[in-house]
Structure 1
Amino acid sequence: MYVLKPVRQVRRPRVIPLGAGVVLRTLLALAILGFIALPVLAEPARLRLRGDVTAKGDVLMLGDLLEGAGAEAARHPLFRAPALGAFGTIQARRIAEAVARLGLGEIETGGRVQVAVQRAARRVGATEIEAAIKRALESGYGLESRSLALRLDGESPVLLAPLDLDGQATAMDLTYDPRLKRVAALITLGDRQASLRVSGQIVEIREVVVLGRALNRGEAVTAADVAIERRPREATPADAQAGTANLFGQVALRTLSAGAVLRSGDVAPPDLVTRGEAVTLVFDSPGLNLSLRGLANESGKLGGMVGVTNPISKKVVTGTVIGPGRVSVGSAAPVRQASAALDPAR
């Protein structure tokens, strides 16, 4: 037998339609809130004073000095910029007065009383000036720029130019005195938009070999011992070594100090034969090869001529040094004579 449960009737909430009074009160509240918030939303952003600035042109615009300006207002000119490469200051009150005259309201200074302004500029220094003059001397006078150096008059002249003049510096109106080696020119950028007149002394330069360490007499020169440097010709010996060809392996003829310019008489090929040394005297020709011992009468380098004495016959022959302790003769007659003396049986 089933037990019947009572059916519960769910009552739906009664929806009361909004009356005209409720709607009016709601609209009135929203209007009041909008009226209060509208001035806050409509208030324009305040302009803020920038920190120290760099001017790229002749005139400082409003946007250069203030943040928060609109695109049109930012392009409004306010002050003239300092000269190229120079510094200047602008009082904050002057900026505020200029902004007020434009009707843009007050500015936030952040406690600053002035703004420092630097005018940006391209600086053409002594290196670029020297290069321009060398090019002009090479094209106009046929001088080799690599063998020249320039001592400019005065203290490091600098040509200041706007940043947009990014071309190569040019030497115009150049004059050169070959006797005095004096030069003068007008250094320009662009179509003479920036220029500077300079003068100086031309110095001839040459490459010389300089010792990196001290060498004792008889010590051989290696690649690690020397360096090539560019020196004024007038300050170097006329017989200074100009290159390292055939230099390595030669020996110092005297004690040489570090930093010295190596001269042609400072080093020489080593002696392969020493005076009083027992050497081998050789004669080579097609079908004939003779060799015998002798004593060198003098020291000799590779390719040098030395006299050799047969210690038995005391005969002297002259030959060419061909290697360590070896001397070659160019004729068989002296060798035969010396050979017979060494071998009595013959």
Structure 2
Amino acid sequence: MKRFAFALTVAAGFAVSLAAAPALAGTAVLRNNVVVDGDILKLGDLFDNVGSKADTAIARSPAPGRRAILDAEWLQRVAVTNRIDWQPQNAFEQSVVERSGVTISHDQIEMEILAALADQGVPADAQIELANRTATLVVPVGANAQIGVRDVLYDQRYKRFTVTVEAPVNSPSATRIRLAGRVFQTTEVPVLSHPVNRGDVITKQDITWNRVREDNVRRDVITDASQMIGYTPRQMLRPGQMVSTADIQKPLAVLRGALVTMVLKSGTMSLSTQGHAVEQGSVGDVIRVTNSHSNLTVEGRIEGTNLVSVSMNGATALAN
């Protein structure tokens, strides 16, 4: 916090007739914490019991959203100059003056900059990132809060820009800041609209779309919704998060240890028997199964829920 020791000078141009003014009968009372709206700090903002002198202008207020600390020496000088009955109780007495204002958020600033960059060929669905990620503007209470963007410089090759942002726009007293940043292209990716648990099958109704920066999309992130539909999460997936190919799998049709039907088809011949799955898998996967009667283990392809087809090489296992 910036300490003002005589830094706020008595505002020039505010003529006050003091020569013959008598001191007030009552003792003035200092306000230790003051919030003001206007440009000018008045005697009545700092002191109670100053009578008709309350509207006397003594200094300029801090900038909107800022504060100033007025120390005992400065306050005593103001009291003497304006002939009010006040003395600091000690050398550490002070008054903190804060100027209220309307804050223009970081997001609002980015939105206006992106709009201004449209003239440079930047698409409306791009995203920008400011080097100063905490940049805000504060305008006086009651002032026009519209932002102006000017002095735009954009490097198409490196996607970098610098601009001047001001608020209130076109105001002689506008606050201006110079900002730099980068432009990022975006793309849409399919995401889940609600949590989906492991084992639940993802449907078209479970999917929505999020626009994200292209540089945040890993190679394994799914960008085609059809690659999610009919699959199930390996672990619970949160809504809105990008989904990778490693996050989902085909629904398990056979669980490890499950009782399965082993089928061999060859022309018009069909043989079947019962077995137990040594491995789990989805439709189309090749797993090992053990004949419950012979204890012979063969490989088979999963055709459906607890249904495994075996080749002629596994005929012996079915026959026993």
**Computing the radius of gyration over CA atoms, which structure comes out larger, 1 or 2?**
1
Could you say if the C-alpha distance between residues 143 and 243 of structure 1 is closer, same or farther in structure 2, counting changes exceeding 3 Å?
farther
Which of 138, 146, 149 pairs up with 1:168?
146
Question: Does 2:178 align with 1:197?
Answer: yes
Could you say if the C-alpha distance between residues 268 and 99 of structure 1 is closer, same or farther in structure 2, counting changes exceeding 3 Å?
same
Task: Please list the CA deviations of residues 8-51 of structure 1 after superposition, one character each: whole Å capped at 9, or x if unmatched.
Answer: xxxxxxxxxxxxxxxxxxxxxxxxxxxxxxxxxxx844432222
Aligned to 2:201: 220
The question of whether the paired residues in 2 share the 8 Å contact of 1:48 and 1:107 is answered with yes
Describe how 1:69-218 pairs up with structure 2 within 5 A: 69-70=50-51, 72-92=52-72, 94-104=74-84, 106-107=85-86, 113-138=93-118, 140-141=119-120, 143-145=122-124, 147-189=125-167, 190-191=169-170, 193-210=174-191, 212-213=195-196, 215=198
CA deviation after TM superposition for structure 1 residue 213, in Å: 4.8
Which of 56, 69, 86 pairs up with 2:37?
56
Q: Distance in 1 between matches of 2:81 and 2:216?
A: 69
What amino acid sits opposite 2:115 in the alignment? R
CA deviation after TM superposition for structure 1 residue 230, in Å: 3.6
Structure 1, unpaired ranges of 5+:
1-42, 279-292, 301-346
Greater relative contact order (Cα < 8 A, sep 6+): 2
What amino acid sits opposite 2:136 in the alignment? V
- Give the secondary structure class of the aligned counterpart of 1:128: helix
CA deviation after TM superposition for structure 1 residue 63, in Å: 1.0
Q: Distance in 1 between matches of 2:104 and 2:49?
A: 36
Q: Distance in 2 between matches of 1:173 and 1:120?
A: 29
Aligned to 2:275: none
Aligned to 1:289: none
Which of 219, 236, 251 pairs up with 2:217?
236
Task: Report which of the two has the higher share of helix.
Answer: 1
Could you say if the C-alpha distance between residues 183 and 214 of structure 1 is closer, same or farther in structure 2, counting changes exceeding 3 Å?
farther
CA deviation after TM superposition for structure 1 residue 234, in Å: 2.4
Which of 233, 243, 246 pairs up with 1:261?
243
Aligned to 2:307: none
Q: Percent identity?
A: 21
Task: Please list the CA deviations of residues 186-220 of structure 1 after superposition, one character each: whole Å capped at 9, or x if unmatched.
Answer: 1112215221111111112223224645645xx52
CA deviation after TM superposition for structure 1 residue 221, in Å: 0.9
Could you say if the C-alpha distance between residues 245 and 110 of structure 1 is closer, same or farther in structure 2, counting changes exceeding 3 Å?
farther
Could you say if the C-alpha distance between residues 243 and 74 of structure 1 is closer, same or farther in structure 2, counting changes exceeding 3 Å?
farther
The question of whether the paired residues in 2 share the 8 Å contact of 1:209 and 1:240 is answered with no
- Give the secondary structure class of the aligned counterpart of 2:113: helix
Q: Distance in 1 between matches of 2:216 and 2:83?
A: 71
TM-score by length of 2: 0.55
Could you say if the C-alpha distance between residues 157 and 169 of structure 1 is closer, same or farther in structure 2, counting changes exceeding 3 Å?
same
The question of whether the paired residues in 1 share the 8 Å contact of 2:165 and 2:177 is answered with yes
Q: Distance in 1 between matches of 2:264 and 2:32?
A: 87
Task: Please list the CA deviations of residues 135-166 of structure 1 after superposition, one character each: whole Å capped at 9, or x if unmatched.
Answer: 1133x245443x32211114522334444443
Could you say if the C-alpha distance between residues 83 and 201 of structure 1 is closer, same or farther in structure 2, counting changes exceeding 3 Å?
same
Q: Distance in 1 between matches of 2:196 and 2:99?
A: 50
The question of whether the paired residues in 1 share the 8 Å contact of 2:234 and 2:249 is answered with no
Q: Count residues in correspondence.
A: 232
What amino acid sits opposite 2:147 in the alignment? A
What amino acid sits opposite 2:243 in the alignment? V
Q: Distance in 2 between matches of 1:166 and 1:172?
A: 17
- Give the secondary structure class of the aligned counterpart of 1:196: strand
Could you say if the C-alpha distance between residues 268 and 174 of structure 1 is closer, same or farther in structure 2, counting changes exceeding 3 Å?
farther
What is the RMSD of the two structures over their aligned residues, measured on CA atoms? 4.5
- Give the secondary structure class of the aligned counterpart of 1:78: strand
